[in-house]
Amino acid sequence: MTTITVPTRERSQMVEITDEVRRVVAESGITHGQVVVYVPHTTAAVTINEAYDPDVARDLLYKLTKEIPQSDGYHHAEGNSDAHLKASLFGSNQTILIDHGSLVLGRWQGIFFCEFDGPRQRNCFIAVTSFA
């Protein structure tokens, strides 16, 4: 299991981590298997979406923030319940396949660490396993 650190600079931000995941897969030497990307935070997530046009990430965060604003009758005293909800909607973990030594992503797909309550210094776990 490899830990990478992800510094974030905005309250809501999608940080592409595809290269980091690819590097861990390459270093593992595994040719057929899977990689689990896991976020150990409760106000952040990991998702797979378009990495080509940065407006896609911008639009995802714009619409999430519009529908799930920071204040909305919440009880949690830290004032970040919106971020907790976004974390569960996008999810804390993704499983991606490895085939012939390569991460199997679609042409437009990238892996994004999703910050919903930054800026913070964040961690992300990457674990590779070989298929029997």
Q: How far is the CB of 111 from a second copy (least distance, A)?
A: 10
Q: What pairs with residue 124 in β-bridges?
A: 4
Question: What are the DSSP calls for 74-93, one per residue?
Answer: ---TTS-HHHHHHHHHH-SE
Which has the closest alpha carbon to 124: 57, 51, 37?
A: 37
**Interacting residues of 26 by C-beta distance below 8 A, sequence separation 6+:** 101
Q: Whose Cβ is closer to a second copy: residue 11's or residue 82's? A: 82
- Per CB under 8 A, contacts with a second copy among 21-40 are 32-34, 36, 38-40
- Which member of 62, 101, 102, 119 binds a second copy (CB under 8 A)? 62
88 lies in the site for a second copy, by CB under 8 A: yes
For residue 55, the surrounding DSSP H or E stretch is: helix 54-67
74 lies in the site for a second copy, by CB under 8 A: yes
- Which member of 19, 27, 102, 104 binds a second copy (CB under 8 A)? 104
In order of 15, 26, 27, 57, 106, the CA distances from 128 in angstroms are 21, 10, 10, 26, 19
Q: How far is the CB of 125 from a second copy (least distance, A)?
A: 6
Phi, psi of 40 (to 5 degrees): -90, 30
Interface residues with a second copy (CB under 8 A) are: 1, 32-34, 36, 38-42, 47-50, 53, 55-56, 58-60, 62-64, 66-68, 72-78, 81-82, 84-85, 87-97, 99, 104-109, 123, 125, 127, 129-132
